[in-house]
Amino acid sequence: MANSINAKQLAAHQNAAKSLSINGSTIGSHTITMGNIQPLTSANLNNIFGITGSSVSMDEWETFSNTPYAKKYEVFETTEDILALSVTWHRLRPLISHNINNIVNPNDRPTKLTDSVLFKEIIQEDRDKAERIRDYYSKKLMVIILREQRISKFRKDLSTFVHGNSKIVKEEMMPLIYRLPEFYEYDIGFDEMIRDLNTRFEFPNQTDAWSGTKILKPVKKFVVKLRTNKFSEYWLKDDDNKLCKIEIPIENKLNHLWEHFFEQESVPLEGLYKHMERDGINYFHLKNWEIDFTKT
């Protein structure tokens, strides 16, 4: 019985083959040409894979990859070091805002790190500075690891970037790269500030804070821009060359009054001096402070 069925199937295939010729191929009255071949569609794929009922679109195939177990990354590949392009933008930013740059047309002003205007405006000094930034953070991260300090997610991302390919980066790295020249200026300014100061002291008391008044000498001011906050960071030192920091929001309307005192040789500040440590640097963060006018 099985041999009979196989023989019938073979005969059917042979009859079908007789109607098919390589040159001017015909099956019945239909000619096989490239024009008869339809492009693949999601419906065709459903038919090919035997999917019936509710069809699955190509967009839905994409969503299948977005799970807690799989991530989709967009990668940028550039002809220039992406950090050098960030340095270029950082250099041009104040010039553009004061209309003293050759980028006159507002439509030509950069809005992202891959804009063509940055490739046109980049100079060798930008490339050199990018290398210095990369070298600086590579060494800084090495010291942090040797000290067995906690590594934040930001620093893990920073390490991945500075030790990775400078011309191929993930899209998620772009905000970090955009801010890195700004962070670098703060960090080297901070390093210069603490060079001759006492930053290795230990707090003598059982608690980590002290209330009272200190006569402090102004040292340096930084403007810090966080994602949700912007403030001025004022650093002062006491008679033992120990650093003290106060923070004042940029929008504080009395800022100009404080600036007057910060420009003086010294200022007496009363408040809570809280002992802090950052990357091996010890200092006091002054809270709930006020100027002690009894000692001015």
Based on the domain organization, do 216 and 189 belong to the same domain? no
Number of domains in the chain: 2
> Does residue 70 belong to any structural domain of this protein?
no
- What is the extent of the structural domain holding 179? 82-193
Instruction: Write down the H helix ranges in 65-197.
Output: 82-97, 116-121, 124-146, 153-162, 174-193
- 170/226 same-domain check: no
Task: With CA atoms as reference, report the closest residue to 183 among 231, 224, 241, 126.
Answer: 224
Indicate whether 121 and 159 sit together in one domain: yes
CA-to-CA distance for 181 and 162, rounded, in angstroms? 13
The angle formed by the CA atoms of residues 221, 227 and 232, to the nearest 5 degrees, is 15
Would you give per-residue pLDDT tens digits along the chain (296 residues)? Answer: 544 544 455 454 455 444 444 344 434 444 444 444 455 454 554 554 454 554 445 455 455 455 666 666 788 999 999 999 999 999 988 877 666 666 656 677 888 999 998 999 999 999 999 999 999 999 999 998 888 888 889 999 999 999 999 999 999 999 999 999 999 999 999 999 999 999 888 776 656 888 999 999 999 999 998 878 899 999 999 999 999 999 999 889 888 899 999 999 999 999 999 999 888 899 999 999 999 888 77
Phi, psi of 250 (to 5 degrees): -60, -35
Domain shared by 227 and 137, yes or no: no
Residue 156 Cα distances to 92, 103, 166, 246, angstroms: 29, 36, 16, 29
Last residue of a domain, one of 128, 159, 193: 193
Residue 137: inside a domain, yes or no? yes
Find the CATH number of the domain harbouring 287.
2.40.50.140
Is residue 47, in this structure, part of any structural domain at all?
no
By CB neighbour count within 10 A (0-12 exposed, 13-18 middle, 19+ buried), where does 38 fall? exposed
249 and 172 housed in the same domain: no
| Domain-embedded: residue 180 | yes
**Residue 107 falls inside a structural domain:** yes
| Distances 160 to 106, 138, 163, 187, 241 between C-alpha atoms, Å | 34, 10, 6, 19, 37
Domain termination site, one of 166, 193, 220 = 193
